[in-house]
Structure 1
């Protein structure tokens, strides 16, 4: 989905992240299209509070903040896991569910704990609970003058327990993508990236922004 007919040209694009790994991943995807990606972190831009109630709102918050502060077109992403039986939770709070509380040890993220929270809530609903889930990714492009475009990607699947595999991160060890019997953490990275929610969103962005 998009809200403008404007297209990206060659040149610089601010990636609204302070994560070097994410900059590298997104930069590799966009480099063939003549874009030089620089991170908001390298420009010293602050991270805006993610106060949105949806992936789209949070992605736009980050993209707009980076575009306005830098005067350069910006791209942001927001992603997470939604579980059908949990009314779409954890959703935009996907990472928050992994945050340790003061009584749970040193600050940081504990993804096994987060997976356990999801499984615990599913278990409360009985042995025949719907285990369908999906990873979501929203990519938002924002121009300094306020125009924007949004692209949504999905990876449908189901949840398993206990966790399986060591190749992924986050909730990957409990997520089996549709059409597979392996979790994202059991699938080789190249194969996972080809079928992921981020790959789906980027395919839509490239098809519209860089039509052949």
Structure 2
């Protein structure tokens, strides 16, 4: 089955293709089909992922898969949340990983509660009007560090310490991250649903 991925992220394509290949799924990016990115107006990961999936399905005529992910910090009421990629811009700063991390550390100064998690919502639809979207959530629990640790990964990876691993996500290899991450957890659940509901694999 050919499924359009509502993303143009090459790393995400490789990561998800490897996971869903055993189901006989071939992922193609929406950009390769000339589909523009969808608006993401909602406050929750699930609503944004569903909007992106329906948008890609409508314009491609194919089943679609979309994810929305980010960092949720308990002490900040779940922020940066769905605005994780552009968190710094909310405070008049440039949009970059370095600025996002710097602003987050500033907001966390003097706070004792440092629990946080990476969150991923993965949604698959057979068509734009699919009444039964498949929805999977993955959460990777950790604690925010006082400073960056590790050169790997991207985004907030060097700031999230994973107690069970004894290091930050930024100190993990790509292979370790792909096996343990919020997106990996959501992907495993979504693949299970695809087997059971869509009868793939």
Would the alpha carbon gap of residues 184 and 19 (structure 1) be closer, same or farther in structure 2, given more than 3 Å must change? same
Contact 2:16–2:187 (CA under 8 A) maintained in structure 1: no
Structure 1 residue 83 displacement after superposition: 0.3
Determine which of 152, 160, 174 is the counterpart of 1:167.
152
Counterpart check, 1:136 vs 2:119: yes
Q: Paired residues, what number?
A: 195
Which has more helix, going by share of residues?
Answer: 2
Which has the higher Rg, Structure 1 or Structure 2?
A: 1
Instruction: Let me know the Cα RMSD of the aligned residues.
Output: 1.9
CA distance in 2, matches of 1:190, 1:20: 16
Question: Matched residue of 1:60: which SS?
Answer: helix
Counterpart check, 1:193 vs 2:178: yes
Contact 1:100–1:110 (CA under 8 A) maintained in structure 2: no
Question: Matched residue of 2:175: which SS?
Answer: helix
TM-score normalized with structure 2 length: 0.90
Matched residue, 2:105: 119
TM-score normalized with structure 1 length: 0.86
Moved over 4 A (4+): 98-104
Counterpart check, 1:204 vs 2:194: no
Structure 1 residue 132 displacement after superposition: 0.2
Structure 2, gaps ≥5 residues long: none
Question: Matched residue of 2:167: which SS?
Answer: coil
Counterpart check, 1:154 vs 2:139: yes
Structure 1 residue 181 displacement after superposition: 2.1
Deviates more, 1:14-23 or 1:33-42: 14-23
Structure 1, gaps ≥5 residues long: 1-10
Matched ranges for 1:59-70 at <5 A:
59-70=49-60
Structure 1 residue 173 displacement after superposition: 0.4
Question: Matched residue of 2:136: which SS?
Answer: strand
CA distance in 1, matches of 2:143, 2:73: 8
